[in-house]
Amino acid sequence: MHNKSLSELASDLKSSAYSSVELTQYFLDRIHQHQPSLNAFITIMDEQALAMAKVADEQIATGSAGALTGIPMAHKDIFCTDGVRTSAGSKMLDNFIAPYNATVVEKLNAAGMPILGKTNMDEFAMGSSNENSFYGRVKNPWDLERVPGGSSGGSATAVAARLAPVATGTDTGGSIRQPASLTGITGIKPTYGRVSRFGMIAYASSLDQGGVFGTSATDCALVLEAMSGFDEKDSTSSEQAVGDFSATLNNSLQGLKIGLPKEYFKEGLDSGVAKVIDEAIAEYKKMGAEIIEISLPNSHLAIPAYYVIAPAECSSNLSRLDGVRYGYRCENPENLQDHYMRSRGEAFGNEVKRRIMVGTYALSAGYYDAYYLKAQKIRRLISEDFKQAFEKVDVIMGPVAPNTAFKIGEKSDDPISMYLSDIYTIAVNLAGLPGMSIPAGQADNLPVGLQLIGNYFDEAKMLNIAHQYQQVTNHHQQMPTAFESTASNKGEA
């Protein structure tokens, strides 16, 4: 049951093969069974999930169900969920019960998808390994000694181990694509402005974008479409019409122009990963695609520019966390300054403090031009590189990450080496383009993702390109065998 597609689940629900309550209970059982080993969830929402499933069953019975009604899912714990703790993986918000729903949650609730729980993540989405969570590390289901990637590592692990059919994530510098790659699933970050940021706890507002993880492009198409759209509550939300992401999945790729940036295949890329990517490109050639070498000459500047822009925006965004209106407050402050300093000092983790300080310095008097403004100019250069490339090609492909999943602890004491694991993903956020990771095979028994970078608002085309690959390969159907079994206490649903 946990290997069925969303449309198979929807059709089973419609034909009463099982109810949404039974299906939801089945995934809750799997979550509880594997939580001790994977730690993918921060909050498991048994009661609310089953209550939502009951409502979905009534809608199915009365014929008012949509394509997703009754199919349970998980949300990254960065999306505010009314009446439920929304922690962003931080001690700062451990006691924060969100008083409203994020637009993404609102939309997927309206689509009838019961919420199984809130998934673990790097604190305030800052990290590439899910080692920075107040709630403990998340393990990669392919190898429990390895990281699942980050920052949406909980959502990625939940889908990879089939604890949830789909899950939301957010991507500021690679936080959907990199964990999707490292756990062998499909993940898409749409164009900046496609999915509302309202109620999505902010890290770097000009880069943050919500998206989705699933086991196939078809499943991602259904959920991404339901999440997308203009929202007046998000001042950078796009008014561009969403369209039907599923309608063009079967389009032929004959004559498709694929750009391969030579900068993404240079030294630093693991040879095992490179081999898998080459094979995937060869597969596209067989489908009639044309391969064109392109150059993104400023791509080496993406990480330096990102580590000014993202920390600067985070130091501003996280200044709202002052222990006055919500969140953690220190004991017995001597005065207001002591209150601010200790509440924040005691509640933020190491990496969050580091980025707040980098940003504070970069924005401090006398340094703005040298850092933030300079980085925004570099951002323009990086964006122009992509613009020129898209005059020649329809889609850009390459690796998502330079390596497969690394060992827990391997990079946690070395921030720079951790930052470099996002070397192929960050430029996409700076340009605001849509990006995707699809499973393309394995290197040393660990999953490798192929990255697809599309032009602005080309989500439907990217999903089509991904789907066609998944029609002729079965990498996306592989799951870690240790998580095949379900210890159900309610019987096989």
Partner 1 sequence: MSLSTEEVKKISLLARLAISDEEAQQYSESLSEIFDLVAQMNAVDTSGIEPMAHPQDISQRLREDVVTASNEREKFQSIAPATEKGLYLIPQVIE
Point out the residues that are catalytic. Answer: 76, 151, 175
Query: Closer to partner 1 at the Cβ: 196 or 218?
Result: 196
Task: Return d(Cα 48, Cα 431) in angstroms, integer.
Answer: 38
Which of 213, 456, 469, 483: binder of partner 1 (CB under 8 A)? 456
Task: Return d(Cα 53, Cα 110) in angstroms, integer.
Answer: 12
Residues 195-234 that bind partner 1 (CB under 8 A): 206, 232
Tell me if 288 contacts partner 1 by CB under 8 A: no
Residues 23-42 that bind partner 1 (CB under 8 A): none
Query: Closer to partner 1 at the Cβ: 4 or 374?
Result: 374
Residue 339: CB minimum distance to partner 1, A: 5
CB contact at 8 A, 480 and 142: yes
**Alpha carbon 226 to chain centroid, angstroms:** 16
First to last CA, the chain: 8
Residue 271: CB minimum distance to partner 1, A: 25
Residue 359: CB minimum distance to partner 1, A: 8
Tell me if 238 contacts partner 1 by CB under 8 A: yes
CB contact at 8 A, 288 and 252: yes
**Measuring CA to CA, which residue among 328, 348, 466 is closest to residue 397?**
466
Task: Return d(Cα 428, Cα 342) in angstroms, integer.
Answer: 36
Which of 110, 336, 472, 482: binder of partner 1 (CB under 8 A)? 336
Tell me if 189 contacts partner 1 by CB under 8 A: no
Query: Closer to partner 1 at the Cβ: 248 or 383?
Result: 383
Tell me if 331 contacts partner 1 by CB under 8 A: no
Residue 463: CB minimum distance to partner 1, A: 20
Query: Closer to partner 1 at the Cβ: 192 or 469?
Result: 192
Strands across the sheet containing 435-443: 41-44, 115-119, 73-76, 167-171, 209-214, 186-189, 435-443, 446-454, 395-399, 257-261, 290-294
Residue 415: CB minimum distance to partner 1, A: 5
Neighbouring CB atoms inside 10 A of 319's CB total: 13
Which of 46, 339, 442, 486: binder of partner 1 (CB under 8 A)? 339
Which of 66, 229, 272, 415: binder of partner 1 (CB under 8 A)? 415
Q: Determine how β-strand 186-189 pairs with β-strand 435-443.
A: antiparallel
| Phi-psi domain of 112 (left: phi exceeds 0; alpha: psi -120 through 50; beta: other) | left
Alpha helices for 240-329 (secondary structure H):
271-286, 302-317
Contacts with partner 1 by CB under 8 A: the residue count is 72
Residue 127: CB minimum distance to partner 1, A: 14
Residue 232: CB minimum distance to partner 1, A: 7
Tell me if 307 contacts partner 1 by CB under 8 A: yes
Tell me if 316 contacts partner 1 by CB under 8 A: no
| Residue 339 in tokens | 């209150």
Query: Closer to partner 1 at the Cβ: 132 or 468?
Result: 132
Taking CA atoms, 409 is separated from 124, 131, 132, 443, in Å, by: 20, 8, 11, 21
Residues 349-408 that bind partner 1 (CB under 8 A): 353-354, 356-358, 360-362, 364, 371, 373-381, 383
